[in-house]
């Protein structure tokens, strides 16, 4: 079910009503990407009617985006037990949303397994083939991530060098743990990705 939030007060009620899990999408009609993302969310909703989805129109409701550190539309996130779980920027396919949110929403039959929400940030730079491979790999496995281009964000670049001691990209922050380069085995371990034959 996709519902449009009318104001910040309604969001408080939604958070109480769906305290376990719901999806929150940030939309702006001025963004063609947001319009495309909404169409994909509607397609996702058609096959996953049990998942509550709420949309914030940032032109009509001010301030909510700041509460969730949303800087761009479209952004789609999940709220799991009152905390942000997945955080997805940009346009993704209905199938991507299905993979990203599967296992996060409580099963209607109960007994949903507890899964620690993943917060994944990929640090990239221009002219970096490994960055493209890494992002494609994460998308293929339904891992939602936020991308930070260090060439466009010098402060993020400085913080990254302080943390890892390296200027190299890509680097992936998974719930506070850094993976330097496209280290598939380590990524799989930290993200819980099972590869074929295992």
Confidence (pLDDT) at 1:
74
Cα separation values, 42 from 2, 25, 37, 60, 139, Å = 7, 11, 9, 20, 20
91 and 165 belong to one structural domain: no
pLDDT over threshold 50, residue 88:
yes
Residue closest to 145 by CA, chosen among 74, 75, 183, 88: 88
Domain boundary among 42, 68, 101: 101
Q: Which H or E element spans position 41?
A: helix 32-47
Separation of alpha carbons 39 and 30, rounded Å: 15
Q: Quick check: is 143 in a domain?
A: yes
Residue 84 and residue 154 share a domain: no
Helix axes 94-101, 32-47, angle to 10 degrees: 60
Are residues 22 and 88 both part of a single domain? yes
pTM: 0.56
Which pLDDT score is estimated for 158? 93
Range of the domain at 187: 120-191
Percentage of residues of the chain with pLDDT beyond 70: 90
> In the Cβ-directed half-sphere of 180, how many Cα atoms lie within 13 Å?
8
Q: What is the mean pLDDT of residues 135-145?
A: 88
Q: What is the pLDDT, as a whole number, of residue 58? A: 96
In sequence order, which residues have a C-beta less than 8 Å from that of residue 86 and are 6 or more positions away? Answer: 76, 77, 78, 100, 101, 104, 117, 118, 144
With cut-offs at 50, 70 and 90, classify the pLDDT of residue 50: confident
């Amino acid at each position: 079910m996709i519902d449009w939030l009318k104001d910040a007060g309604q969001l408080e009620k939604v958070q109480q009503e769906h305290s376990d899990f719901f999806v929150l999408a940030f939309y702006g009609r001025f963004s063609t990407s947001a319009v495309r993302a909404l169409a994909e969310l509607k397609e996702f909703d058609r096959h996953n009617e049990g998942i509550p989805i709420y949309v914030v129109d940032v032109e009509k409701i001010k301030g909510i985006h700041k509460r969730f550190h949303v800087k761009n539309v479209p952004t789609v996130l999940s709220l799991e037990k009152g905390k942000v779980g997945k955080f997805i920027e940009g346009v993704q396919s209905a199938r991507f949303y299905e993979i990203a949110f599967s296992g996060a929403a409580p099963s209607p039959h109960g007994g949903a397994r507890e899964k620690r929400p993943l917060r994944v940030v990929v640090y990239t730079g221009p002219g970096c083939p490994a960055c493209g491979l890494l992002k494609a790999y994460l998308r293929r496995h339904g891992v939602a991530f936020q991308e930070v281009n260090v060439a466009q964000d010098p402060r993020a670049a400085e913080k990254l060098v302080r943390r890892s001691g390296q200027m190299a990209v890509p680097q992936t922050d998974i719930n506070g743990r850094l993976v330097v380069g496209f280290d598939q085995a380590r990524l799989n371990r930290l993200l819980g990705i099972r590869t074929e034959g295992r």
